């Protein structure tokens, strides 16, 4: 079995008993399902809660869970044991990253399917969320790599997560904030979902999303070069 | 075989290993004996490629430690205090993670759990294990890959005598199977009991080396004979200081009187040797 697959299997075993990480994966899907069913108003936009919580889920869950998983392994010394068993940093990050992404995708598929999405518009929606999840997963990994322990991971991830999650929300009511928020991938993906049955990303939005992805990837590479996974 | 020649390592301005040299033969238990902060763990980190060093050369099974491949490292078993366990997972699941990495079967997991006497607790979460059980699980993890070299960093530190003794037996069995065992400890009884060869490490420097018996005999300056008599007296004769004829007469007299209970030579132990060489105690 490859090292990345072994790490992936380990994550499945561990998350079942790790309530702090598990809640990240199930909180927004549950909230979406509950709110969609419980709050129904005549003038409410179509799939309002799905759009709102999807963006929150996409920005919050991978950042907090990735950084929590990596920083906990650093703090407890299990990461060091893995590295000494010939698990390369790339295999480790691939195992955890793919797991994190798939767990969030399962949540996304579940909540969107429950809200009645299907067909081409559903696939387009899933593609938009998947692209955001990939960027957020890399950002979460960068924070996990930078943080020495779980407490510092939380201190770093909370402001970053709030920035990427709430700025697009505030931008809807404040034009000045909107001028800044438009440069965030979360805002562009939120705009793409404005008509959820006709998902569209314009050229400017695509450039911003790609630029965000490259910047965050660069940030991850810098963090990894500086801190490594088990550097003394 | 492990061969270390002139290894030096500093953290900032502080030299933690200073010109360290020794050789460990195949199938041998080699001990690194020294107090806390002597540089024992740093040396294990250097030998396992976790830390780089400034000077010297270290070879494990003929390969420079700086050039060890991943496959080479898979033939090492490492038990260190800061190599954590997955607290939420069970004993079996902890080993399963590493068995997947080493490509080791389920039978091997159960065999190693049985070896460390944790088979009955295989379904128990690590967070619910006692300290001794956690140490045995750490050892099981180190043994899982059938290592050619086993690095044990203070494997019985803080454990009760029963658990320590069980761990000692496992270590001896692995030695008999041909594994090189590199052990660090500050416990002189453990070193005397287990090690074929050892070096005494103080502030990053090797101050003496040899088999435990050789070391004790080498520093047996007083050459003391201790006589316990039937009436409860203890008489010590320092052979180097006293008149040998007079000593022989006195012992003969005790014998003639039928007053002799026990008579034995009294060599220094590793603690005394270490104290003499460094002026420090081992267990600090």
Q: DSSP letter string over A98-112?
A: HHHHHHHHHHHHHHH
Proportion of chain B above pLDDT 90, given as a percent: 54
- Judging contacts by C-beta atoms under 8 Å, the chain B residues touching residue A10 are 86, 89, 97, 100
CB contact under 8 A, B78 and A84: yes
Structural domain includes residue A149:
yes
From the list A6, A18, A76, the residue facing B100 with the nearest CB is: A6
Question: Which of B41, B83, B102, B146 is the best residue to mutate to test the A interface, defined by the most A CB atoms within 10 Å of its own CB?
Answer: B83
Structural domain includes residue A168:
yes
Tokens, residue A185: 């991938």
User: How far is it, in rounded angstroms, from Cα A137 to Cα A143?
Assistant: 10
Question: Which of B41, B74, B100 is the best residue to mutate to test the A interface, defined by the most A CB atoms within 10 Å of its own CB?
Answer: B100
CB contact under 8 A, B70 and A84: no
Distances (CA, A) of B140 to A70, B40, B144, B153, B162: 24, 22, 6, 14, 17
- Judging contacts by C-beta atoms under 8 Å, the chain B residues touching residue A76 are 84-87
Structural domain includes residue A85:
yes
Confidence of residue B72 (pLDDT cuts 50, 70, 90): confident
User: How far is it, in rounded angstroms, from Cα A104 to Cα A9?
Assistant: 16
Greater confidence (B257 vs B168) lies with B168
CB contact under 8 A, A78 and B86: yes
Nearest to A57 by CA among A105, A15, A92, A20: A105
Structural domain includes residue A22:
yes
CA-angle at A9, arms to A6 and A10, nearest 5°: 85
CA-angle at B169, arms to B168 and B171, nearest 5°: 65
Average pLDDT of span B144-164:
91
The predicted pLDDT at position A57 comes to 94
A78 and chain B in contact, CB less than 8 A: yes
pTM of the model: 0.85
CA distance A19 to chain B (A): 10
Tokens, residue B1: 């075989």
From the list A6, A80, A230, the residue facing B97 with the nearest CB is: A6
Structural domain includes residue A232:
no
B65 within 8 A of B47, measured Cβ to Cβ: yes
In which domain, by residue range, is A153 found?
Answer: 2-227
Evaluate if residue A219 carries a pLDDT over 70.
Answer: yes
Q: Range with the lowest mean pLDDT among A71-85, A112-126, A181-195, B268-282?
A: B268-282
- Closest CA in chain B for residue A91: B101
- Judging contacts by C-beta atoms under 8 Å, the chain B residues touching residue A87 are 101
Residue A124: CB atoms within 10 A of its CB come to 19
Confidence of residue B245 (pLDDT cuts 50, 70, 90): confident
A65 within 8 A of A150, measured Cβ to Cβ: no
Please, which residues bridge with residue B242 across strands?
A: none
CA distance B196 to chain A (A): 27
CA gyration radius for chain B?
23
Structural domain includes residue A60:
yes
From the list B71, B84, B103, the residue facing A78 with the nearest CB is: B84
Distances (CA, A) of B64 to B3, B48, B57: 9, 10, 7
Structural domain includes residue A124:
yes
Structural domain includes residue A68:
yes
User: How far is it, in rounded angstroms, from Cα A68 to Cα A21?
Assistant: 7
The string over A160-192, giving b where at least 16 C-beta atoms fall within 10 Å of a residue's C-beta and e elsewhere, is: bbeebbebbbebeeeeebeeebbebbbbbbbbb
Q: How many domains does chain A have?
A: 1
The predicted pLDDT at position B282 comes to 67
CA B120 to chain centre: 28
Instruction: Please provide the average confidence, as pLDDT, over all residues in chain A.
Output: 91
Average pLDDT of span A83-97:
92
CA distance A166 to chain B (A): 33
- Judging contacts by C-beta atoms under 8 Å, the chain B residues touching residue A15 are none
From the list A5, A78, A86, the residue facing B74 with the nearest CB is: A86
């Amino acid at each position: 079995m490859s090292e990345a697959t072994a790490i992936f299997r380990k994550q499945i075993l561990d998350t079942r008993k790790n309530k702090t990480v598990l809640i990240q994966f199930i909180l927004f899907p549950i909230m979406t399902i509950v709110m969609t069913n419980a709050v129904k108003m005549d003038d409410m936009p179509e799939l309002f809660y799905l759009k709102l919580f999807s963006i929150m889920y996409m920005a919050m869950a991978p950042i907090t869970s990735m950084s929590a998983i990596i920083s906990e392994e650093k703090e407890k010394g299990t990461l060091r044991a893995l590295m000494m068993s010939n698990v390369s940093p790339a295999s480790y990050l691939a195992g955890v990253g793919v797991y994190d992404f798939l767990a969030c995708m399962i949540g996304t598929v579940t909540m969107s399917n429950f809200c009645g999405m299907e067909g081409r518009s559903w696939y387009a929606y899933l593609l938009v969320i998947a692209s955001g999840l990939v960027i957020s997963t890399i950002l979460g990994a960068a924070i996990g790599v930078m943080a020495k322990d779980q407490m510092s991971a939380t201190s770093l991830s909370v402001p970053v997560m709030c920035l990427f999650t709430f700025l697009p929300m505030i931008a809807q009511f404040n034009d000045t904030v909107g001028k800044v928020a438009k440069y965030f991938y979360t805002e562009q993906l939120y705009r793409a979902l404005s008509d959820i049955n006709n998902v569209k990303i314009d050229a400017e939005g695509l450039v911003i999303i790609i630029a965000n992805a490259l910047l965050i990837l660069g940030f991850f590479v810098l963090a990894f070069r500086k801190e490594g996974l088990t550097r003394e | 075989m492990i061969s270390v020649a002139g290894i030096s390592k500093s953290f900032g301005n502080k030299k933690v290993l200073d010109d360290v040299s020794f050789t460990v033969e195949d199938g041998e238990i080699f001990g690194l004996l020294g107090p806390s902060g002597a540089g024992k763990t740093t040396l294990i980190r250097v030998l396992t490629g976790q830390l780089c060093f400034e000077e010297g050369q270290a070879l494990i099974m003929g390969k420079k430690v700086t050039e060890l491949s991943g496959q080479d490292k898979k033939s090492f078993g490492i038990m260190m205090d800061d190599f954590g366990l997955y607290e939420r997972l069970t004993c079996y699941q902890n080993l399963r993670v590493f068995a997947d990495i080493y490509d080791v079967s389920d039978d091997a997991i159960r065999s190693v759990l049985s070896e460390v006497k944790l088979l009955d607790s295989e379904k128990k979460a690590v967070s619910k294990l006692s300290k001794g059980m956690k140490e045995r699980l750490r050892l099981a993890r180190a043994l899982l890959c059938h290592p050619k070299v086993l690095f044990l960093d203070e494997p019985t530190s803080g454990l009760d005598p029963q658990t320590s003794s069980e761990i000692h037996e496992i270590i001896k069995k692995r030695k008999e199977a041909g594994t090189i065992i590199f052990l660090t400890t500050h416990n002189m009884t453990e070193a005397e009991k287990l090690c074929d060869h050892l070096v005494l490490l103080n502030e990053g420097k090797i101050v003496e080396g040899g088999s435990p018996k050789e070391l004790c005999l080498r520093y047996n300056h007083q050459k003391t004979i201790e006589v316990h008599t039937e009436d409860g007296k203890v008489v010590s004769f320092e052979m180097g200081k006293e008149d040998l004829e007079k000593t022989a007469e006195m012992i003969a007299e005790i014998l003639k009187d039928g007053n002799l209970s026990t008579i034995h030579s009294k060599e220094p132990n590793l603690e005394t040797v270490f104290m003499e060489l460094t002026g420090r105690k081992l267990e600090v």
